[in-house]
Structure formats: C-alpha cells, structure tokens
Amino acid sequence: MIHSMTGFGRGRAEGPGSTLTVELRAVNHRFLELKTRLPRELAALERRASAMTRARLGRGSVELSVRIVKAAGEGAEVVVDQALARRYLDELTDLTKLLRLSDKVSLAQLARAEGVVQLRESALDEGALWPTLEAALGEALDKLCEMRAQEGAALKAELIDRAAAITAWVDSIEAEVPVALQHARARLEARMSEVFGDSALVEPARLTQEIALLVDKTDVSEEISRLRAHLAQVGRFLEAEGPIGRKLDFLVQELNRETNTIGSKCQSADLAHKVVELKAEIERVREQVQNIE
C-alpha cells in the first residue's frame, strides 16, 4: 500500500495523576527526520518514544510533541515555612506596638507574605507514565498512518493515470519514428542530388551508407524498450508493500534520461513535439513521487 509522507495525528491517554496528548505532524523529506518536543518531566522517555515512531514510519520530516496536564492537586506539594511566618508575626507585632496600632496580624496576611507558603511540584514517576505515553503515541501514529494511507491511495490513482498517459505518448512516438525516418531519408536524397546534380552521379553504395548512418543516428528502439520496461516496473512498485518513494524517484530519473536521448535523435518537428509532451508527463509524475513514502 502506498503512503503519502504528509499527515497529522493526535492521541490522548489518561494515566496516574495526569493526561498526555501527543501530536504528530509529517511533511515531505528525503529521509526520516524526527524532531521531538517532550516536557521536561518526560525527557527520560524521549528515546523510547522516538524508537516507537521510527518503527512505524519510513520517510518524512516528522514533528512529535507531547503535552502533559496534571490532575488537580496531583504532582504538587504545599510547603509552609513556619519559622519565616513566626518572624513575620514578631516583626509585624512589634511594628503595631511601635506605631500604637490596634490592628492584629491575621493568618491571611501571613499566608500572603513572600516565602511563607510555597507550591512545590513533586517529581513524576517516568516509568509509570510510559504506558500512558505509549497509548497516546500509538493512537497518534494510527491516525497519522491512516491519513497518509488515504492520501497514498489518491496518489496511486494519479500515478496510474499518469503512467497510462506516458505509455500513450511512447506508443505515439514509436509510431511516428518510421514516418520521421522516411521524411529524413527523402531530405537526404534531395540534398545529395542538390550537391551532386544529376542523381545518377550518386553512387548507390554511398547513398546506402549515408542512409544506414541516418538510421543508426535516429534509431530509438532501445530507448523505447527501456521506457516500456521502466513503466512496467513502476506498475509493479505501485502494487508492492513498504516504502517505494525512492525507488520510484530513481525510475523517474531513468524515464527522463531515455526521453532526453530520444529527443536528441529527433529528425522532425512532430516527433520533437511529442517528446516535449512526454517530458511534461514525466515531470508531473516526478512531482507526485516526491510525496510518496
């Protein structure tokens, strides 16, 4: 099954005292490039998360981000500095006496005093959170792969149509070659007659030699055979399992190479036009192949 390299997936899982949300974003890339962004509390799990992601994806530039939301009251500890609170109380009580104030220092005032009450986060148990991260990441990967598979199916249909169009142009070029050769032969004979004057002066052996050279220079049968072989290979790859993007990219380069050779041997404007159209179709295939894993 063909997979696109672009897609998005989100997964969410609840664990002991916290909820984890994982998001995966993927775009085209020549190889698999993975960028991870995990909260500081989960830094020790980055390697396992990366390995799990790489096991499911073959190519693409992938961003993996994890967000953690702790349950109310979980993962935090209230710390009261009683000694500091007493010093605040003593100092404020002395101040009220000095200023002959009737105010009394309240508990609320002491609690608001800097440093008296602190909220300290307790360390999370990373080992206990791995099953939660694994579940959220697994869901995100499933959704990402599902989206990539859907886009891959559309790419496959597009490539099948493009391959058929390329085959049609190859057929047309193959049919045009004898006609172009016949016209080239006629031009050659006319040119030789023009140079030598009376066609009777043209040696048959010389004419045969020149025609043989012309045929050799314009013979594209091998190129057409290789084009057909490459197109057959494209069809087999489209039905294969696993990543095929790089293989298809190589075949597109070969299709371009053979087409360029045919273009260099063109002897007619009609044939040159068909070669241009063939190159245009191959370029469309190349653009689509860049999206395939």
101: three-class secondary structure by DSSP? coil
Q: Assess contact for 177 and 26: CB atoms under 8 A.
A: no
Grade residue 75 by pLDDT with cuts at 50, 70 and 90: low
Considering only the top CATH level, what class is 7-72+125-145?
Answer: alpha beta
The string of DSSP letters for 207-230 reads: HHHHHHHHHHHH--HHHHHHHHHH
pLDDT in tens, 116-149: 888 666 555 667 889 999 999 999 999 999 999 9
Chain centre to alpha carbon of residue 290: 8
Query: How far, CA to CA in Å, does 66 sit from each of 36, 41, 63, 124, 141?
Result: 8, 11, 10, 15, 13
Structural domain boundaries in the chain = 7-72+125-145, 76-121, 150-289
Q: Which residue has the tokens 């148990």?
A: 125
pLDDT in tens, 183-202: 666 666 666 666 565 555 55
Task: Find the DSSP H helices in the chain.
Answer: 46-56, 82-98, 107-112, 126-196, 204-218, 221-238, 245-264, 269-289
* The model's pTM: 0.69
